[in-house]
Structure 1
Amino acid sequence: MVPEQLTVFWNNFLDLFDVLPEDSLAITVYIVGAIIIMWCWTSIMRRLPATLGCILWMVVFALIATPTISEGPNSELAPATFGLLFGVLTKDSVLIWSNLSLILFVIGLGLIISHWANKYRAIRKKATVVEGTEQSPL
């Protein structure tokens, strides 16, 4: 009796996914999965020195979140890491280099943006300290 009710519930639950379009469902799972993985990775990286943690966070972000278009008749959005692994397995050098270049581009862009954000943050912190001492009557 209980397994039959669970089977009915499970079938009704899976019928819900038949209503949703495959493309939007796949992109939603891709984005939500990347967010969950990066949130978990952030809690690990907090225990490392700030510079090393930032670099490793950016590398994992690039490996997980760099998008590419998959090969084949039903080409869709996919992580570039999968394309890179598929290129290595099939020994397709064009596929390897195209996906690796995308991943390295995201790593480089992220490191440049974080460098400038840290510089801006340091300048802003320095200006706040200077303003705080000028306003102080002592």
Structure 2
Amino acid sequence: MENLMTFLESIPENTIAVTVYLLGSLIILWCWYEIAKRLPHPLGGVSWIVVFAILLTPTISEGHNAGIAPATFGLLFGVLTKEMPLVWSNLSAILVVIGLGLVVGYFWSKYSQRKEGLAAKNNSTAL
């Protein structure tokens, strides 16, 4: 037990915090996927992209110990302090990730439809 505590003390706090944040985000995204796959086809995928963007869009925090932080925290901080440039920069980052996710999702759905169409065509000719 003492060796484990010594090992954990040697890991920087930032590394532990980022690891816990990423693992927590993955668990939330997996849970949301289980909910979203029961929703109507486009709504489930779009909602998953929105949750992904809210959780994992990165930004740079301000201050003397600036680092990478979720844009959601920057957005909330900007709203609470009424700093509109901070609000708009973080909101625009989140919206860019949502937009990119929607574009990728559109092409993925077209690819999946085409793949299913080809598989159905091959099955019908084999009969």
TM > 0.5: yes
Larger Rg, first or second structure (1 or 2): 1
3-state SS of 1:78 partner: strand
Q: Is the 8 A contact 1:27 1:77 kept in 2?
A: no
The whole-number CA distance in structure 2 between the counterparts of 1:83 and 1:13 is: 35
The whole-number CA distance in structure 2 between the counterparts of 1:47 and 1:119 is: 20
Superposed CA offset, 1:70-103 (max 9, x none): 1111111111000000001111111111100110
Shift of 1:39: 1.1
Aligned counterpart in structure 2 of residue 46 of structure 1, from 37, 40, 44: 37
- Cα RMSD over matched residues? 1.8
Shift of 1:69: 1.1
* Residue 117 (structure 1) aligned with residue 108 (structure 2): yes
The whole-number CA distance in structure 1 between the counterparts of 2:105 and 2:125 is: 30
Corresponding residue of 2:83: 92
Are the structure 2 counterparts of residues 86 and 13 from structure 1 closer, same or farther at C-alpha, using a change threshold of 3 Å? farther
One-letter amino acid of the structure 1 residue matched with residue 35 of structure 2: I
Identity, % of aligned positions: 49
TM-score, reference length from structure 1: 0.83
Q: Is the 8 A contact 1:69 1:78 kept in 2?
A: yes
Q: Which moved more, 1:22-31 or 1:101-110?
A: 22-31
The whole-number CA distance in structure 2 between the counterparts of 1:92 and 1:116 is: 37
The whole-number CA distance in structure 1 between the counterparts of 2:87 and 2:20 is: 25
Shift of 1:131: 1.5
